[in-house]
């Protein structure tokens, strides 16, 4: 597939093609995932992210393992089937105890997805043995040099090694990248898409960079929305059976649901308790009022209105 040529096509044309491929390969279902932002503590310093350790203006929190388990069971009772536990990269949790909580959720019929950053093989193994089904770790950019500029002291190879470990351990692999990072060009975007294909991701999340005041990239404009949408559509062409979410960052712009007609088949619904959600400022988010049951009902209605089947 000539990705350079695809990127030159009209967004509408790409979406039309991607929508057909989506229908033929993964059908009408839209998967709703409950997103629980368990902690905003992070030891890393990604140049684009508001949770970076050097942002001292952010008040930090970590839900207790018991709290996470309780919330998981409660949202399952109102219809969520998958819970995504996401946090900054930190050593806050004892992974053995965390795994016990995961195992309990899994025993209750809940599908668990984790997005806790780069963990060691041993930690990933424990969490997999506890029943975790998927792990999300975006490579963020396929450009080795750019990766190292934006993540001082960290390396793309290590990220990719971690993704290999995730695959080897039998997880469904989620990865992806950001559109609009300073220093990227069209070749970077092509390489990002090629890497996504090479990794044969089971889930591909393409986000758009949004500047955050307390980061070194505060003055950089947000990424191009049209290019981001094109990348979503092209991902569907490259990986027909993949799960492709409308990422929360992309959802901040214009018609949130447009890409359900352009290749996407997954959406995350934030279920983080309000006082914590307000502090999970990866990028500046508008204040949202979180109501588990009402939010799910509203989302299901919206998806049905689009002629799709919420699950």
Q: Which residues bind ligand SAH (CB under 6 A)?
A: 48-49, 86, 88-89, 115, 117, 137-138, 140, 178, 207, 209-210, 212, 249, 282-283
DSSP state for residue 71 in the 8-state scheme: H
Q: What whole-number distance in Å separates Cα of residue 249 and Cα of residue 238? A: 22
Residues that contact ligand SF4, how many (by CB under 6 A)? 10
Please give the C-alpha separations between residue 56 and each of 52, 92, 104, 250, in angstroms, as whole numbers: 9, 18, 35, 27
We find the least distance from the C-beta atom of residue 9 to ligand SAH, in angstroms, to be: 25
We find the least distance from the C-beta atom of residue 23 to ligand SAH, in angstroms, to be: 28
Partner interacting with residue 212 (select from ligand SAH, ligand SF4, none; CB below 5-8 Å by kind):
ligand SAH
Cβ closer to ligand SF4: 39 or 258?
39
Binding mask 46-65 for ligand SF4 (x = CB under 6 A): x--x-xx-------------
**E strand residue ranges, 22-66:** 29-39
We find the least distance from the C-beta atom of residue 223 to ligand SAH, in angstroms, to be: 8
Residue whose pair of structure tokens reads 């890497």 in the numeric block = 195
Q: Rule CB under 6 A: is residue 42 a binding residue for ligand SF4? A: yes
Cβ closer to ligand SAH: 138 or 296?
138
Q: Rule CB under 6 A: is residue 180 a binding residue for ligand SF4? A: no
Cβ closer to ligand SF4: 51 or 239?
51
Reference 212, options 220, 204, 200; nearest CA is 220
Question: Of these, 89, 143, 197, 295, which contacts ligand SF4 (CB under 6 A)?
Answer: 89
Partner interacting with residue 52 (select from ligand SAH, ligand SF4, none; CB below 5-8 Å by kind):
ligand SF4
Q: What whole-number distance in Å separates Cα of residue 151 and Cα of residue 14? A: 32
Question: Of these, 88, 205, 245, 310, which contacts ligand SF4 (CB under 6 A)?
Answer: 88
Cβ closer to ligand SF4: 60 or 308?
60
Reference 275, options 260, 290, 285; nearest CA is 290
Q: Which residues contact 284 (CB under 8 A, 6 or more apart)?
A: 50, 210, 212, 213
Q: Rule CB under 6 A: is residue 44 a binding residue for ligand SF4? A: yes
Q: Where are the alpha helices (DSSP H) in the chain?
A: 3-8, 11-26, 65-77, 95-107, 121-129, 144-150, 156-168, 186-198, 225-238, 248-251, 274-277, 292-305
We find the least distance from the C-beta atom of residue 167 to ligand SAH, in angstroms, to be: 16
Please give the C-alpha separations between residue 196 and each of 4, 160, 179, 234, 306, in angstroms, as whole numbers: 15, 11, 13, 11, 28
We find the least distance from the C-beta atom of residue 208 to ligand SAH, in angstroms, to be: 6
Q: How many CB atoms lie within 10 A of CB 25?
A: 13
Q: Which residue stretch of 5-13, 41-49, 227-235, 301-309 sits at the interface with ligand SF4 (rule: CB under 6 A)?
A: 41-49
Partner interacting with residue 138 (select from ligand SAH, ligand SF4, none; CB below 5-8 Å by kind):
ligand SAH
We find the least distance from the C-beta atom of residue 310 to ligand SF4, in angstroms, to be: 28
Please give the C-alpha separations between residue 149 and each of 53, 123, 157, 266, in angstroms, as whole numbers: 16, 27, 14, 31
Cβ closer to ligand SF4: 174 or 310?
174
Q: What whole-number distance in Å separates Cα of residue 279 and Cα of residue 275? A: 7
Q: Rule CB under 6 A: is residue 117 a binding residue for ligand SF4? A: yes
Contact positions vs ligand SF4 (CB under 6 A): 42, 44, 46, 49, 51-52, 88-89, 117, 282
């Amino acid at each position: 597939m000539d990705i350079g040529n695809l990127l030159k096509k009209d967004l509408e044309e790409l979406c039309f093609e991607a929508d057909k491929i989506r229908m033929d390969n993964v059908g009408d279902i839209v998967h709703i995932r409950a997103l629980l932002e368990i902690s905003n503590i992070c030891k890393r310093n990604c140049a684009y992210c508001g949770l970076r350790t050097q942002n001292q203006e952010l008040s930090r929190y970590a839900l207790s393992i018991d709290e996470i388990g309780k919330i998981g069971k409660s949202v399952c009772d109102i219809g969520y089937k998958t819970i995504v536990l996401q946090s900054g990269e930190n050593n806050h949790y004892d992974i053995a105890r965390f795994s016990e909580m995961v195992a309990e959720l899994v025993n209750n019929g809940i599908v668990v997805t984790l997005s806790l950053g780069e963990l060691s093989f041993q930690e990933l193994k424990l969490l997999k043995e506890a029943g975790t089904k998927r792990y999300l770790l975006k490579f963020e950019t396929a450009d080795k040099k750019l990766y190292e500029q934006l993540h001082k002291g960290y390396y793309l190879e290590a990220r990719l090694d971690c993704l290999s470990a995730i695959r080897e351990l039998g997880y469904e692999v989620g990865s992806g990248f950001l559109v609009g990072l300073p220093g990227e060009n069209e070749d970077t975007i092509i390489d990002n898409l090629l890497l996504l294909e090479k990794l044969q991701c089971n889930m591909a999340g393409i986000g758009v960079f949004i500047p955050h005041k307390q980061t070194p990239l505060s003055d950089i404009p947000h990424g191009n929305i049209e290019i981001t949408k094109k990348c979503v559509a092209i991902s569907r062409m490259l990986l027909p059976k993949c799960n492709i979410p409308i990422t929360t960052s992309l959802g901040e712009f214009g018609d949130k649901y447009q890409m359900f007609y352009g290749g996407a088949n997954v959406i995350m619904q934030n279920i983080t308790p309000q006082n914590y959600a307000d502090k999970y400022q990866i990028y500046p988010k508008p204040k949202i009022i979180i109501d588990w049951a009402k939010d799910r009902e509203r989302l299901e209605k919206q998806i049905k209105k689009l002629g799709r089947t919420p699950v």
